[in-house]
Structure 1
Amino acid sequence: MLDSEQCPDCKRIGAVLSRVGDRWSVLVVVSLAEHGTLRFNELKRTLGISQRMLSLTLKEMERDGLVSRTYHPTIPPKVEYTLTALGQSFRQPVTALSRWAIENLGRIDAARTAYDAGTAQ
Structure 2
Amino acid sequence: MAEQRYQCGLDAAMHVISGKWKVLILWALDEHGTCRFGELRRTVGASEKVLTQHLRELERDGIVRRAVVVEEPPRVVEYSLTEEGHRLNEALGPLGDWGRRRMAPTG
TM-score interval (norm. to shorter):
0.7 to 0.9
Aligned length: 100
Deviations 1:3-25 (CA, angstroms, capped at 9, x unpaired): xxxxx942585354232243311
Kindly state the Cα deviation for residue 70 of structure 1 after the two structures are TM-superposed.
0.5
Percent identity between the two aligned chains: 35
Local SS of the residue matching 2:56 = helix
Question: Relative to total residues, which structure has the larger helix share, 1 or 2?
Answer: 1
Tell me if structure 2 keeps the 8 A contact 1:30–1:95. no
In structure 2, the partner of 1:87 is: 85
Aligned with 1:101 (options 71, 84, 99): 99
Aligned-partner residue type, residue 55 of structure 2:
L
Which residue of 38, 43, 46 corresponds with 1:41? 38
Q: Which has the larger radius of gyration?
A: 1
Contact 1:69-1:80 within 8 A present in 2 as well? yes
Across the aligned residues of Structure 1 and Structure 2, the Cα RMSD in angstroms comes to 2.2
Please say which of residues 29-38 and 19-28 is displaced more in the overlay: 19-28
Q: Deviations over 1:55-112 (max 9, x none)?
A: 00000000000001001214311010000010011111222222211220257xxxxx
Quote the residue 1:52 is aligned against.
49
Instruction: Name stretches of at least 5 consecutive residues in structure 2 with no aligned partner.
Output: none
